Amino acid sequence: MRNYSIAVIPGDGIGKDVLDVGLATMRGAQEVCGDFKIEFQTFPWSCGYYLEHGQMMPDNATQTLRQFDAIYLGACGFPSLVPDHISLWGLLLPIRKEFDLYVNQRPARLLPGLTGPLRDKTTNDINFVCLRENTEGGYSGVGGRVHRTTDHEVAVESMIFTRRGVERIIRYAFELARHEGRKRVTSVTKSNAMGHSMVFWDEVFEIVAAEYADIQSDKIHVDAMTARMVRFPEQLDVVVAENLFGDILTDLAAAIQGSMGLAASANINPERTAPSLFEPVHGSAPDIAGKGIANPIASVWAASMMLDFIGERDAGKLLMRGIERLTGEGRVLTTDIGGTAKTHEVGDELVRLIKSAG
């Protein structure tokens, strides 16, 4: 029997609802497979925790998390309670940086049975992977403010690019393309306007691309990429971008999938020197928190990615097949993708599908 320990952080808003479904589906897959066991331990770190303790998580939180095989996060942020820059920099970003989770991997795929917002685009047209550098770039946290509250106030936010950081995310993109049998890696840049950082990014991309003659490569400016993504998504296979560009583009990718409720992600340390973190990226959705209507598919998709990463690939495939059958049949879906079901009803149906597939 293979044993794993997963840290669970439901977080804010709809986080608990969608993670409850993800946990139920993992337990269902565990029951079907019968040869591994996961122990889940839940931590209450959130904006509610901040209001009580003055911090999003304890000082020793990352030390606590290091003992786990992976981290499963629901949502971070509740701006009516705590400003977003406090919640993000108090919980998720410290974990990403402390554990060197430099790969943010987000699948963008139109699932069977769903109709996305792009006219005439099918499941064959929308099926690519976005890789976002996750530890530097626009979210490096370097900068400051001076002359506060005066007419001369100045705010500086610096984007940091290191050769090590840029090269390793680009190399990961080519390795992923090769591993998954994908044919092209597209680099997102803005070197026409950012003559230092993005020219540097382009140079490193060209050096790495030369080592992968079996994989096609191209580069595109970030503004042009927004147009390509909505007009010609079939041209995309593996997309690699710096932190800020990647953050923005992956929300657009989720939109063309049909809903933010389908957006799953993995924050990965490929060297496995620390636990990786898996999460839906729809946020805490304060407007629907507590209503029981949140779409849990992204959380289950993220759980599938987590199972695959820790080595339980058969269990991960069970979860994905359950999602595909759910959307393909179209009977039990939440309102954001054309149904009327509640969160827990989708969860019950997913568990049934997973168990029946086994």
Every domain of the chain and the residues it spans: 1-104+259-358, 115-257
For residue 75, the Cα-to-chain-centroid distance in whole angstroms is 11
| Nearest Cα residue to 15 out of 328, 278, 317 | 278
Q: Where are the beta strands (DSSP E) in the chain?
A: 2-11, 36-42, 70-75, 103-109, 127-133, 137-146, 154-160, 184-189, 216-221, 238-241, 264-268, 276-280
For residue 40, list its beta bridge partners.
6
- What is the tens place of the pLDDT at every residue in 219-258? 999 999 999 999 999 999 999 999 999 999 999 999 999 9
How far apart are the C-alpha atoms of 263 and 74, rounded to whole Å?
12
| pLDDT (0 to 100) of residue 22 | 98
Provide the 10 A C-beta neighbour count for residue 203.
Answer: 13
User: Does the pLDDT value for residue 182 go beyond 90?
Assistant: yes
| Nearest Cα residue to 90 out of 103, 81, 77, 100 | 77
Contacts of 180 (CB under 8 A, 6+ apart): 129
Q: Could you tell me if 64 and 9 are in contact, meaning their C-beta atoms sit under 8 angstroms apart? A: no
Q: In the structure encoding, which two tokens stand for residue 216, read together?
A: 């096609």
- Do 1-104+259-358 and 115-257 fold alike per CATH? yes
* Interaxial angle between packed helices 15-33 and 297-310, expressed in degrees from 0 to 180 and rounded to the nearest 10: 50
HSE-CB for 46 with a 13 A CA cutoff = 20
| pLDDT (0 to 100) of residue 324 | 98
- What is the tens place of the pLDDT at every residue in 38-78? 999 999 999 999 999 999 999 999 999 999 999 999 999 99
| pLDDT (0 to 100) of residue 176 | 98
CATH topology of domain 115-257: Isopropylmalate Dehydrogenase (3.40.718)
| pLDDT (0 to 100) of residue 358 | 64
How far apart are the C-alpha atoms of 255 and 249, rounded to whole Å?
10
Torsion angles phi and psi, residue 108, rounded to 5: -125, 110
pLDDT confidence bin for 357, thresholds 50/70/90: confident
CATH topology of domain 1-104+259-358: Isopropylmalate Dehydrogenase (3.40.718)
Average pLDDT over residues 13-29: 97
* Whole-number percent of the chain with pLDDT over 70: 100
- What is the tens place of the pLDDT at every residue in 120-131? 999 999 999 999
* CA–CA distances in Å: residue 345 to residues 230, 239, 293, 339: 32, 34, 10, 11
Q: Could you tell me if 91 and 56 are in contact, meaning their C-beta atoms sit under 8 angstroms apart? A: yes
